Chains A and B, each alone.
Chain A
Amino acid sequence: MDMRGFLLKKHRSRTFLSWSFHKKSLHSTDEKHRGDFMQIDIQKDNSTLTLKLEGRLDTLSAPELDARLKNSLEGVERLILDFSSLQYVSSAGLRVILSAQKQMTARNGKMVVKDVNPGVLDILEMTGFAGILTLETTG
């Protein structure tokens, strides 16, 4: 019998502060879900917190990001959301992004959303988020 579906894979990568969480591993492997998958890389450098999101920020994965932010925002002055590998965002994801922006503003910090791909940018523009977020493109 296949027990892989029960295992919650948590593995360390890069530094001890950085870890990855595979949501995909929650689902039994005999059913494939192309989209239901997000990975968050967290890196903290003094007061700068960088979150690199990979995959889909949807109704299922948004609570995950919300929880990560809640636990990591202490003492953070600069929050960088790296969207270079983010394929998809839904309203639940937008809610978490707005919440993060509000928290950073409340603590006089700065939040930067980096390298948004065109599909996600469409949604940010459509919802007026492009106007209230600080979007940056590297290189």
Chain B
Amino acid sequence: MLLVVVFIMTALSLAMILLSVGTFHKYKELQISECRSLIAMHGENINDAVRWLQNNARELALSGELFYRRAKNDPAFGRYAVMQNFRINTLAVGGGIWYEPFILDPERERVCFYAFTEKGQVVFDESFEEAIYHYPSQSWYTSIRNQILNENKVVAWTPPYIDGTGTHALMTTVGGGIYDDKGRFVGLSTVDWQLGDIANEIATVRPTPNSFVLFADLENDYILALNDKHQGGNPVGASLKTLSWFREDAPREGEMVLGGIHYLSFMKKLDNGMLVVINIPSKELFQDITRNLRYTVLTLFATLLLIVLVTYRLLDHFINKPVSGLSRMAEEIGSGKLDTKLEFRTGDELGRLGETLNRMAVHLKEYIENLRIITSEKERMGTELSIARNIQASMLPSIFPPFPARKEFSLHAVMMPAKEVGGDFYDFFFTDEDHLAFVIADVSDKGVPAALFMVIAKTLIKNNALLYPDLAEVFTRTNAQLFENNGTEMFVTAFMGLLNIRTGAFSYVNAGHDAPFIRRAGLGFEKLKVRPGFVLAGLEQTSYQADHLTLSKGDGLFLYTDGVTEAANSVGLFFGDERLHKVLNQCEPAFCTELHGFLSSVQHAIHDFVQGAPQSDDIAMLGLFYTGASGQGAAENPSDAMRWIPARIEFLPQLLEIVEERLGKNGWPPEQRMRFMLATEEAFVNIVNHAYPEAAEKGMAGFRLDILSDPLRAVLSLVDEGIPFNPLERSAPDLSLSAEEREEGGLGIFLVRKNTDGMEYVYEEGRNVLKLTLFFKV
């Protein structure tokens, strides 16, 4: 837009300049023609005078003829003629009639009549007939006579001359011939013209201060007037050849350079062979117009500049400033400064855009503020949930085998909460030396309230179980206590079993929970026949009844919550009782040898079935395998047993505690213990972070600490079933780098290596096994 305006302005001004230049040339022409008129006028004036004087010379000659033919004897006539001539001729200063020697009177050589004017008076001069002034031999007389007789001129001019009679004026004289009736030349008339006057008048002609005029008699090569500074002195009477610039054949108008100045030269030739030249410095001649033109152009430019500036300011104010303001604001909003406010009211589209932007910033700020509050609220909630999850995780017994000293049975359980905290739980504990109690339960809700309710239920069941040997009594009391404190109408389904590990006597009670599967040795899994029972905390007065059977060596139980059977895949199909039954029987071989692997297999089956669909409910499973009182004898050193904990960071303290306690018990000094614990932590964290990349199936980590002798050393075996990873192949970090160059991470394995005396790794049977050795040093 600005460009367009500038373009138009430039075009306009160019047109104006062209127009003024055109006008300038017109004016120049006008000036030149004025000069032309000037010289023409002066030339004509002189010409007029010249013609007048020539005519007068002829008239006076006619008077001379008249006297010669008719009044020879009357000298008064001659006298009268010359004196009266001044009445008609005011230009002349003298006039006379002169006869050839002895032609009028053979006795008188000279007969003449001459009068002149002096101070306005006409004076008749008789002195010319005197002997001392012999006019026929004077140069003016012979000059005129020769021209008339030899060149057949009617009138003739003398060269200019300085009057010798006293006035010293510059004169010229014109004369005409006097003839008798036979045409014989008998004398001549003269009219004296004082050239000085006219020359002075010409000399005043100065169209510009430094112009000058030449007035000269070309025929006689005689300068009559020259008012040229360059020549200096008084050149009157000098030859034209003394003028370097003058050329007789110069054109009527032309240019010439004199003393570095350019002149326009105008020349006018007169009838009597005189000429007038006017030289005008062209600079001076055109000074006014040049100045005017300059003013015009300057004014134009100034106006143009003004217009451009004004236009620019207007554009700037109405477009550029708002636009740059808008873009600055957009930038600031982009960089997060939402307090920015645009301050302009142009009233046009830009103004509206600015207001919109202002509103947008305000809304954005409000929105971000709201979002921030919501986010921080969510973060807080998330933190609290995560804390709750830690609490819950630490409440469920999670070290397996839980009772390494008891060889009559093996027991393993897993819990996979759907949200951060869940309502499912399992529990197991000895009520006395021989009786193992185990519970699986499902609170009717999920989230924090369910978790709290679960904690209460778990605590009540355990407390009651420790007090009352009858399971029916335990549930009846627990129900009443839960109901009493239940303000939220939550309820719990639960199944509880009590096994005499010595005799295999097994009693169980159910409160609305899914019936567990029982495995009879050699027969596979079957659903256990249970009374349905009513849920805990549902009604104030609910009585429960326990059932009894005996487990034989090789029998077992699988307890689960409905998160297993109701695990749904992406099309909404449930995992279901039948599929679970089938999976249990497929995995049965592991049940007897390794419960942990068995439960993992069931977990995998569920995971494969749902195919990534989000877990909608908590999943808890508990397996119990009864080997009987005469089972394999207890290991000589309990430390041989592999224990399993979930591969989650919150179980790290439990692992560390066991390691430190056992090292401490065996006399390792604190510094050594700290080093080994550091190695243990790093190795375990490595499993937690990398072994099971899919959070949904966070697996287990097994550990075993052996104290071996000769030399005395501790060997910690850490096992996981995740992706194969050999930490020994991990390259050491570059410790020489500066803080800026160092990457955050990669130190874990390095610290394991540096803080142990030996590090072994094998991958066998789908497991990563890492053995860390620490020698006993004092």
Inside 8 A of A95's CB, which chain B residues have their CB?
Answer: 744-745, 747
What residues of chain B lie closer than 8 Å to A33, measured between beta carbons? 653-654, 656-657
Q: How would residues 722 to 738 of chain B score, 1 for a CB under 8 Å from any chain A CB and 0 otherwise?
A: 00000000000101111
Chain B residue at minimum C-beta to C-beta distance from A119: B674
Residues of chain B within 8 A of A90, CB atoms compared: 678, 681-682, 685, 751
9-residue interface stretch from A41-49, A76-84, A98-106: A98-106
- Chain B residues with Cβ below 8 Å from A31 are 394, 654
* A8 near B387: Cβ-Cβ < 8 Å: yes
B757 CB within 8 Å of chain A: no
Q: Taking CB as reference atom, which chain B residue is nearest A27?
A: B394
- B75-102 interface code vs A (CB 8 A; 1 in, 0 out): 0000000000000000000000000000
Within 8 A of B (CB), among A82-139: 87-88, 90-92, 94-95, 98-99, 101-102, 105, 119, 122-123, 126-128, 131-133
CB pair B739–A123 under 8 Å, yes or no, is no
- In the complex the two chains form, is B653's CB within 8 Å of A132's CB? no
Chain A residues in 8 Å Cβ range of B395: 28
Q: Are A26 and B391 in contact (CB under 8 A)?
A: yes
A-B contacts counted at CB < 8 A amount to 100
- Choose among A28, A35, A60 the residue that contacts B660 (Cβ–Cβ < 8 A): A35
Q: Is the CB of A58 within 8 A of B739?
A: no
Residues 415-432 of chain B: 1 if any A CB is under 8 Å from the residue's CB, otherwise 0?
000000000000000000
Binary CB contact string for chain B from 43 to 80 against chain A (1 if under 8 A, 0 otherwise) = 00000000000000000000000000000000000000
Across the interface, name the chain B residue whose C-beta is closest to A104: B739
Say yes or no for A6: interface residue by CB 8 A criterion: yes
Q: Which residue of A34, A105, A119, A127 is within 8 Å of B751 (Cβ)?
A: A127
> Is B249 in the interface zone, CB < 8 Å from A?
no
B747:A91 contact, CB within 8 angstroms: yes
CB distance from A135 to the nearest CB of B (A): 13
Considering only residues 440-467 of chain B, those with a C-beta below 8 Å from chain A are 455-456, 459
**Is A5 positioned at the interface, with any CB of B under 8 Å from its CB?**
yes
Name A120's closest neighbour in chain B (CB-CB): B674
Write the nearest CB–CB distance from A124 to chain B, whole angstroms. 11
Chain B residues 315-367 with CB under 8 Å of chain A are none
Hey, which chain B residues are within 8 Å of A72, CB to CB?
Answer: none
| Residue in B654, B682, B742 with the greatest tally of chain A CB atoms within 10 Å | B742
Q: Which residues of B contact A92 (CB under 8 A)?
A: 685
A126: contacting residue among B455, B740, B751, CB under 8 A: B751
Query: Known contacts A102-B739, A128-B736; is A123 also within 8 Å of B678 by CB?
Result: yes
Asked if A127 contacts B678 (CB within 8 A), the reply is no
Question: In whole angstroms, what is the CA distance A44 to B409 when docked?
Answer: 58
Q: How far is the CA of A36 from the CA of B659 in the complex (A)?
A: 13
Q: How many residues of B contact A (CB 8 A)?
A: 40
Could you tell me the distance between the alpha carbons of A128 and B734 in the complex, rounded to whole angstroms?
9
Contact residues of A between 13 and 67, Cβ < 8 Å to B: 26-28, 31-36, 58-60
Contacts A34-B657, A59-B649: A88 and B674 contacting too (C-beta < 8 A)?
Answer: yes
**Complex interface: chain A residues within 8 A of B678 (CB):** 88, 90, 123
A74, chain B: closest CB distance, angstroms? 15
The one of B390, B671, B675 in contact with A26, judged by C-beta atoms closer than 8 angstroms, is B390
B380-429 interface with A by 8 A CB criterion: 387, 390-391, 394-395
Q: When chains A and B are docked, how far (Å) is the Cα of A128 from the Cα of B657?
A: 28
Q: Give the distance to chain A from B159, nearest Cβ to Cβ, in Å.
A: 108
A58, A126, A132: the one within 8 Å of B738 (CB): A132
Contact B735 A127 (CB under 8 A): yes
> Considering the chains assembled together, what is the distance between the CA atoms of A101 and B740 in angstroms?
8
Contact of A102 with B740 in the complex, beta carbons under 8 Å: yes
Bound complex: CA A126 to CA B674 (Å)? 14
CA distance A35 to B656 in the complex (A): 8
A128: chain B residues at CB < 8 Å are 733, 735-737, 742
Check if B677 sits within 8 Å of A60, measured CB to CB. no
Q: Across the two chains, which residue of chain A brings its CB closest to B452? A: A6
Determine the chain B residues whose CB is within 8 A of the CB of A87 once the complex forms: 674
Chain B contact surface mostly: helix
8 Å CB contact of A91 from B390, B649, B735, B751? B751
Q: Is the CB of B456 within 8 A of A1?
A: yes
Report how far A92 CA is from B652 CA in the complex, Å: 13
Look across to chain A and name the residue whose beta carbon is closest to the beta carbon of B395. Answer: A28
Contact between chains at A27 and B652 (CB < 8 Å): no
- Measured CB to CB, the nearest residue on chain B to A87 is B674
Alpha-carbon distance between A56 and B737 when the two chains are bound, in angstroms? 26
Which residue on B lies nearest to A98, using beta carbons?
B744
B656-692 interface (Cβ within 8 A of A): 656-657, 660, 671, 674-675, 677-678, 681-682, 685
**Given contacts A1-B459, A6-B391, A127-B750, is CB(A60)–CB(B652) below 8 Å?**
yes
Chain B residue with the shortest CB-CB distance to A33: B653
B459: A residues at CB distance < 8 A? 1
A58 partner residues in chain B, CB cutoff 8 A: 652, 681
The CA-CA distance from A90 to B689 in the complex, in Å, is 15
A95 vs B3: C-alpha distance in the bound complex, in angstroms?
A: 59
Docked CA distance A115–B495 (Å): 56
Chain A minimum-CB-distance residue to B736: A128
A39, chain B: closest CB distance, angstroms: 16
Cβ of B283 under 8 Å from chain A:
no
On whether the beta carbons of B677 and A35 are closer than 8 Å, the reply is yes
Q: Are A101 and B681 in contact (CB under 8 A)?
A: no
Q: Are A119 and B671 in contact (CB under 8 A)?
A: yes
Contact of A60 among B455, B649, B674, B745 (CB under 8 A): B649
Q: Is B747 touching A127 in the complex (CB atoms < 8 A)?
A: yes
Question: Chain A's nearest CB lies how many Å from the CB of B691?
Answer: 15
Tell me, rounded to whole Å, the shortest Cβ–Cβ distance linking A32 to chain B.
8
B748 touches A (CB below 8 Å): yes
Check B754–A126 contact: CB distance below 8 A. yes
A90 to B749, CA, bound (A): 11
Which chain B residues border A5 with CB–CB below 8 Å? 391, 394
Q: Give chain B residues whose Cβ lies under 8 Å from the Cβ of A32.
A: 657
Whether the Cβ atoms of A35 and B754 lie closer than 8 Å is no
Distance in Å: Cβ of B57 to nearest Cβ of chain A: 116
Closest Cβ neighbor of B747 among chain A residues: A91
CA distance A119 to B682 in the complex (A): 17
Q: Which residues of B contact A88 (CB under 8 A)?
A: 674, 677-678
Q: Identify the interface centre among A26, A32, A92, A102: most chain B CB within 10 Å of its CB.
A: A92
State the Cβ distance, A91 to closest chain B Cβ, in Å: 4
A35, A123, A127: the one contacting B657 at CB < 8 Å is: A35
Question: By the criterion CB–CB under 8 Å, are B391 and A91 in contact?
Answer: no
> What residues of A have a CB within 8 angstroms of the CB of B390 in the complex?
26-27
Closest-by-CB residue of A relative to B656 is: A35
CA distance A35 to B747 in the complex (A): 21
Bound complex: CA of A94 vs CA of B746, how far in Å? 11
A35 touches B735 (CB 8 A): no
A34 to B654, CA, bound (A): 10
Chain A residues, Cβ within 8 Å of B755: 126
Contact A132 B739 (CB under 8 A): yes
A133 and B395 alpha carbons, distance in the complex (Å): 41
A72 CB, nearest partner CB in chain B, Å: 16
8 closest Cβ contacts across the A-B interface? A128-B735, A36-B653, A33-B653, A91-B747, A132-B739, A91-B748, A95-B744, A101-B739
What are 9 A-B interface contacts by the 8 Å CB criterion?
Answer: A5-B394, A26-B391, A32-B657, A59-B681, A88-B674, A90-B751, A101-B739, A127-B733, A128-B737
Chain A positions near chain B (C-beta within 8 angstroms): 1, 5-6, 8, 26-28, 31-36, 58-60, 87-88, 90-92, 94-95, 98-99, 101-102, 105, 119, 122-123, 126-128, 131-133
Known A8-B387, A91-B685, A128-B742; further 19 A-B contacts with Cβ < 8 A: A1-B459, A6-B391, A28-B391, A32-B657, A33-B654, A35-B653, A35-B656, A58-B681, A59-B685, A88-B674, A90-B681, A92-B685, A94-B747, A98-B739, A102-B739, A105-B740, A126-B751, A127-B735, A128-B736
Which B residues are closer than 8 A to A by beta carbons?
Answer: 387, 390-391, 394-395, 455-456, 459, 649-650, 652-654, 656-657, 660, 671, 674-675, 677-678, 681-682, 685, 733, 735-740, 742, 744-745, 747-748, 750-751, 754-755
